[in-house]
Chains A and B, each alone.
Chain A
Amino acid sequence: MADTPNTPLLTVDKLGVRFAVKRGGGWGKRAFLYAVDDVSFTVNRGETLAIVGESGSGKTTAALAVARLTAAYTGSVKLDGQELLGLEGEELRQARNKVQFIFQDPYSSLNPRQRAEDIVREPLVSLTDKSGAEQQQIIDRLFAEVGLRPEQKRLFPHQFSGGQRQRIGIARALATQPQLIICDEPVSALDVAVQAQILNLLRDLQSELGLTYLFISHDLGVVQHMCDSIAVMYMGRIVEHTDRLSLFNNPLHPYTKALLSAVPSVDKKRRAETKRILIPGDPPDPVNLPPGCRFANRCPAATDVCRQSEPPLTDHGGYHRVACHLVNDSKTAAI
């Protein structure tokens, strides 16, 4: 990424995650579901990369693999120059300090039997060697930073609202002073009016602490507000990856176009301008993927080439990466 002045913090190269599934023809024959397939991207320091896609596209799995919460079978994940895949023992423990996770559901991601302060203390105990007094100091600071009152430290999760619980989750993620925070659908379980509180908090924390976010979401409105660049995933692969303005104002991949056109909007002008691109049918069976482009069976522009060979993710100028054979084709442009 020579075009960008900022230095990359996270570099993911040809990452692959697969799951063995019991299926396939013969006896004892193993079939694999390639949840993440040949995924490469970088995230610059202090910036936010959003990974968007529909359920089953592999966005969460990719994030879990980056955080070493699920095993990748191939590829490389470098944080600040250090390879994370393959780390073990004490080295892995040290690396975990630097990558933390904010989960989607603030109801099931907090231990109901722990007090709020103990939930936030957990990563300090298991990942750092800080003394009790130091831990307490950090917890006090974090509670103030995420907008919780000091007296709430002794409460249990059920005594908080959804938004407050997510604040606890954020405090926990910040505890070890990580460089990279992975936010997996951090607001989709919250009421709309509360979402704004959490999104504003995440942006404030980013500018105050210089955090780098990997932001997983299916809500394109939220994504456009939060990110600097966006990768669109479909069936385990990145189909388009570019900066925020290029993606929203000039999408090139037919799937991205369809996805954007499907978002209902309150903007009268956008509704008038947007032609809804309906993509018929369902995604193909992820275990028996057809040859060629994974989107071909639903793509309004697909040709024989698309059904035969898989398009590579190539740069179309200004770091606008697209995986489509027909990207310069007039037929695709007309979609």
Chain B
Amino acid sequence: MTTPLLKVENLRIELTTRDGVAPVIDDLSFELGQNENISFVGESGCGKSMTALAIMGLLPEKIGRIASGSILFDGEDLTKASPARLRAIRGNEISMIFQEPMTSLNPVYTVGEQIAEVIREHQGLGRKAAWDMAADLLDAVRIPNARGRVSDYPFQMSGGQRQRVMIAMALACQPKILIADEPTTALDVTVQAQIFDLLRDLRKDTGTSIIMITHDMGAVAEMAERMIVMYAGRGAEIGPVEQIIEHARHPYTKGLTSCVPHIVSQLTEDRARLTEVPGIVPGLKDFGKNMCLFASRCNHRTEECLSARPPMKPFENGQIAACWHAEDV
């Protein structure tokens, strides 16, 4: 890999809560290559969406801030960029689709107007030209009768179609990076398959890099080359998807893969008990402690885990795991 498209280094994001300041992202580093597809995996409250919002420059104002670290996009540090510069990048070079296609579209504007707005803002096209392009985009995301549907309101469309509209909007300016935050969680599985198919094709055609946030290991296996497992604001494990699924080096990754019943190629009568990951993700007040935050839920726990934060241990095959006992997992 030559210079990565996106390089996040030692990122720390602090969130001000009633109980004080909590590092919701704590020393996170990762890279995204040209035309690469990576996935963030983890339970809710582990900082997956927060990372995405930081890249987009959309952290909640006055509550969240980037305390240290850098986000290098094409060599430019986004943490130091002005609001105007961020506005020019957002939706243009980096764009995002959200989990809820029902609530992320404006109900009182037609979908055409909403897509055209992006085009006019970033590409300076006129009303007519932008509208025509919106119709073309709807066609590209495989909405049947796109010319007719472009003047529909969001309520006139199904969930899958609304998510396609979101994708059309996100792709309007041919971004270099598309961030998809749980793009199919609210959708039925056959619709999810259609959306995945669409994303795969678009990536092939446009060369866009995709960051997908999900909690579904199956989706990761289908869509991504590398994954980043997050736990309590920290990277737990990073590496190639196939390898991690085969042999995870972090107990949390292992738990995430084996706690879900999977459909395998030939089912048998044998149904093993699901592996439980006991307990839940720690609360914000525990974030940032100098210990392994997964320790309370881990069956590999030793004294070491409670007394110091484990470093990211690199393995020869490219996997990196933040666990004191990674070699034994």
Interface residue ranges, A against B (CB under 8 Å): 54-55, 161, 163, 191-197, 199-200, 203, 218, 220-222, 224-226, 244-245, 248-249, 258-271, 273, 276, 278-279, 281-282
Partner of B194 from the list A191, A259, A278 (CB cut-off 8 Å) is A278
Tell me, in angstroms, the Cα distance from A267 to B262 when the chains sit together: 8
Tell me, in angstroms, the Cα distance from A191 to B273 when the chains sit together: 18
A265-B218 in contact given A54-B190, A270-B264, A282-B160 (Cβ < 8 Å): yes
Is B264 in contact with A265, judged by CB distance below 8 angstroms? yes
A224-B263 in contact given A276-B193, A281-B144 (Cβ < 8 Å): yes
A196-B263 in contact given A259-B189, A264-B219, A279-B190 (Cβ < 8 Å): no
Is B189 in contact with A278, judged by CB distance below 8 angstroms? no
Is B189 in contact with A262, judged by CB distance below 8 angstroms? yes
Tell me, in angstroms, the Cα distance from A248 to B265 when the chains sit together: 9
Is A264 in contact with B265, judged by CB distance below 8 angstroms? no
Is B266 in contact with A249, judged by CB distance below 8 angstroms? yes
Tell me, in angstroms, the Cα distance from A279 to B188 when the chains sit together: 12
Partner of A196 from the list B44, B189, B222, B275 (CB cut-off 8 Å) is B275
Task: List, sorted by A's number, 19 A–B pairs whose CB atoms are closer than 8 Å.
Answer: A55-B159, A192-B215, A195-B260, A196-B260, A199-B261, A218-B189, A220-B189, A221-B260, A225-B271, A245-B267, A245-B268, A262-B190, A262-B193, A264-B196, A264-B223, A265-B262, A266-B245, A270-B263, A281-B144
Tell me, in angstroms, the Cα distance from A261 to B190 when the chains sit together: 8
B272 CB to closest chain A CB (Å) equals 9
A-side contacts of B188, CB under 8 Å? 54-55, 218
B-side contacts of A269, CB under 8 Å? 264-265
Residues 211 to 257 of chain B near chain A (Cβ within 8 Å): 215-219, 221-223, 242, 245, 255-257
B146 within 8 A of partner (CB) = no
B276 within 8 A of partner (CB) = yes
Residue from the set B196, B262, B263, B274 with the largest chain A CB neighbour count within 10 Å: B263
Interface residue ranges, B against A (CB under 8 Å): 43-44, 144, 158-161, 188-194, 196-197, 215-219, 221-223, 242, 245, 255-257, 259-269, 271, 273-278, 280-281
Is A197 in contact with B263, judged by CB distance below 8 angstroms? no
B-side contacts of A282, CB under 8 Å? 158, 160-161
Cβ-closest chain B residue relative to A56 = B188
Is B274 in contact with A199, judged by CB distance below 8 angstroms? yes
Cβ-closest chain B residue relative to A269 = B265
A-side contacts of B256, CB under 8 Å? 192-193
Tell me, in angstroms, the Cα distance from A194 to B307 when the chains sit together: 27
B-side contacts of A193, CB under 8 Å? 43, 255-256, 259, 276-277, 280
Is B190 in contact with A267, judged by CB distance below 8 angstroms? no
Tell me, in angstroms, the Cα distance from A27 to B264 when the chains sit together: 54
Tell me, in angstroms, the Cα distance from A162 to B273 when the chains sit together: 21
A260 CB to closest chain B CB (Å) equals 7
Residue from the set B188, B255, B278 with the largest chain A CB neighbour count within 10 Å: B188
Is B221 in contact with A266, judged by CB distance below 8 angstroms? yes
Cβ-closest chain A residue relative to B45 = A191
B220 CB to closest chain A CB (Å) equals 8
Cβ-closest chain B residue relative to A246 = B267
A221-B262 in contact given A54-B190, A200-B273, A259-B190 (Cβ < 8 Å): yes
A-side contacts of B278, CB under 8 Å? 197
A116 CB to closest chain B CB (Å) equals 17
Is A221 in contact with B215, judged by CB distance below 8 angstroms? no
A196-B264 in contact given A258-B190, A262-B189, A265-B221 (Cβ < 8 Å): no
A-side contacts of B215, CB under 8 Å? 191-192
Partner of A200 from the list B257, B263, B276 (CB cut-off 8 Å) is B276
A-side contacts of B280, CB under 8 Å? 161, 163, 191, 193-194
8 nearest A-B residue pairs (beta carbon): A225-B261, A264-B218, A262-B193, A196-B259, A54-B188, A193-B277, A196-B274, A270-B265
B132 CB to closest chain A CB (Å) equals 25
Tell me, in angstroms, the Cα distance from A282 to B259 when the chains sit together: 33
Partner of A266 from the list B43, B257, B266 (CB cut-off 8 Å) is B257
Cβ-closest chain A residue relative to B191 = A54
A262-B44 in contact given A225-B271, A267-B263, A269-B265 (Cβ < 8 Å): no
Is A192 in contact with B43, judged by CB distance below 8 angstroms? yes
A-side contacts of B144, CB under 8 Å? 281
Partner of B222 from the list A248, A249, A271 (CB cut-off 8 Å) is A271
Tell me, in angstroms, the Cα distance from A259 to B194 when the chains sit together: 12
Is B274 in contact with A220, judged by CB distance below 8 angstroms? no
A-side contacts of B223, CB under 8 Å? 264
Is A266 in contact with B267, judged by CB distance below 8 angstroms? no
Is A276 in contact with B277, judged by CB distance below 8 angstroms? no
Tell me, in angstroms, the Cα distance from A54 to B277 when the chains sit together: 29
Tell me, in angstroms, the Cα distance from A268 to B266 when the chains sit together: 12
B99 CB to closest chain A CB (Å) equals 14
A263-B189 in contact given A192-B43, A245-B269 (Cβ < 8 Å): yes
B-side contacts of A203, CB under 8 Å? 273
A-side contacts of B274, CB under 8 Å? 196, 199-200, 225
B-side contacts of A262, CB under 8 Å? 189-190, 192-193
Is A224 in contact with B190, judged by CB distance below 8 angstroms? no
Tell me, in angstroms, the Cα distance from A258 to B189 when the chains sit together: 10
B-side contacts of A220, CB under 8 Å? 189, 263
Tell me, in angstroms, the Cα distance from A278 to B192 when the chains sit together: 10
Tell me, in angstroms, the Cα distance from A266 to B161 when the chains sit together: 27
A-side contacts of B158, CB under 8 Å? 282
A57 CB to closest chain B CB (Å) equals 9
A-side contacts of B264, CB under 8 Å? 265, 267, 269-270
A-side contacts of B275, CB under 8 Å? 196
Cβ-closest chain A residue relative to B192 = A262
Tell me, in angstroms, the Cα distance from A271 to B193 when the chains sit together: 13
B-side contacts of A200, CB under 8 Å? 273-274, 276
B193 CB to closest chain A CB (Å) equals 4
